[in-house]
Amino acid sequence: MNESFGSLGLVVMAALAAALGDQELALARGTETRFAVPSAEYRTIQEAIDRVPDGATLDIAPGVYRENLSIAGKRLRIAGASGPGPRTEIVAADEARAVIAYGSGGGGALQDLALRGGTFGVLAEAGSRTGGDVELTIRRLTIRQTGSGVYGRFSKLELEDSRIVATESHSVVLLFCGVYCSVKDAFVSNAGGAGLYVANEAAGGAVCDPETGASLCIHDSAFVANEGGGIMIIGGAKPVSIRHSWALANRFGGILLWGGSDVTIDETEASGSLPLDDGRFGDGIVAVLTPNLVVTDSITDSNARSGVAAFGSTIGLGGNWSVCNAFDMNYETFAGIPGNFVKLADNTCGCVGDPCQALSSGLEAPPALP
């Protein structure tokens, strides 16, 4: 190396350190700032959160930590132990609070953690009904025995390769999705409410499924044995893509759409839906006031009521199997709008491959859960 250039480089880096600070210097070098927890400097996770710079990574050692974490005004990556060895588990110290709560300007990433207890596993509490500024990536998390697993208003959410089980209420609740929200490779089961509940009220944003142009994506995920339905989406501001997923043995219904617009369901199974205790509902896929739903190459099997139901909705069907349901397909007029099915390609119905029949029997549309 040229000695004069090397000396100049040291001077420049020293100047950057003085002007920008350690974290910005690390970014200028193309590295990241990492801190081990616990350590002599940071005895608790919250102490590290409060003191490390924006953009830092906290490497949390294996073990059980009884804390309620609060993150605002900075974006941090909080990483537990990966691999087959002992895990990093955070248990709510105060059961009346979230295990991890994000305030205004908070965000970053959570990965390789187990969360348990509290009112929420992960809470994005900043924002209003019409906005949220928390951008968060969640990977390889296990959340269990909490009120709701993931709840709040997000500017952007990526929930991937995670398990959320045995929540008291809805497992995942997205009250606002600004840029986009993506759920991929998730397993959600045994919720006291819906497996996934989305208020789809924010138009615009980036695309998470280039093939469909959707900004709300649910891919390669399973929603099993939830008491308030597998997937429930209310509103139609963003295009929706549900692909390569399963909604199985959910009470109330498998996939429920209320007031959607452009929704695509492809290579997905919604089967074994159970009625409520009073005997009502139990559809595989049901759309209420959804003018443009397309269902392709999907299966609805052994649902207590209808395989696919259209209440004031138009549903395009192609390459589907609707087998051994009480009704193959059900259409009803709702709010003065007739239900309608459009054949896009051949579909197979009945327990022995009979031709499909769409029936109207005055069935009741399921309500939108609060």
Cα–Cα nearest to 65, from 85, 39, 46, 84: 46
Two structure tokens written together for 321: 């199997």
User: What token pair was written down for 323?
Assistant: 């087998």
Class of 55-359 in CATH: mainly beta
* pTM (whole model) above 0.85: yes
Q: Residue for token digits 């009073």?
A: 278
pLDDT by residue, tens only, the chain of 370 residues: 344 434 444 444 344 444 444 443 343 344 569 999 999 999 999 999 999 999 999 999 999 999 999 999 999 999 999 988 899 999 999 999 999 999 999 999 999 999 999 999 999 986 555 557 899 999 999 999 999 999 999 999 999 999 999 999 999 999 999 999 999 999 999 999 999 999 988 777 899 999 999 999 999 999 999 999 999 999 988 999 999 999 999 999 999 999 877 999 999 999 999 999 988 899 999 999 999 999 999 999 999 999 999 999 999 999 999 999 998 999 999 999 999 999 999 999 988 666 787 878 778 888 876 5
Task: Tell the residue number behind the tokens 């452009």, with chain if given.
Answer: 262
CB-count exposure of residue 75 (10 Å: 0-12, 13-18, 19+): middle
Spatial distance between the Cα atoms of 330 and 344, rounded to a whole number of angstroms: 17
Residue spans per domain, the chain: 55-359
Rounded CA Rg of the chain = 24
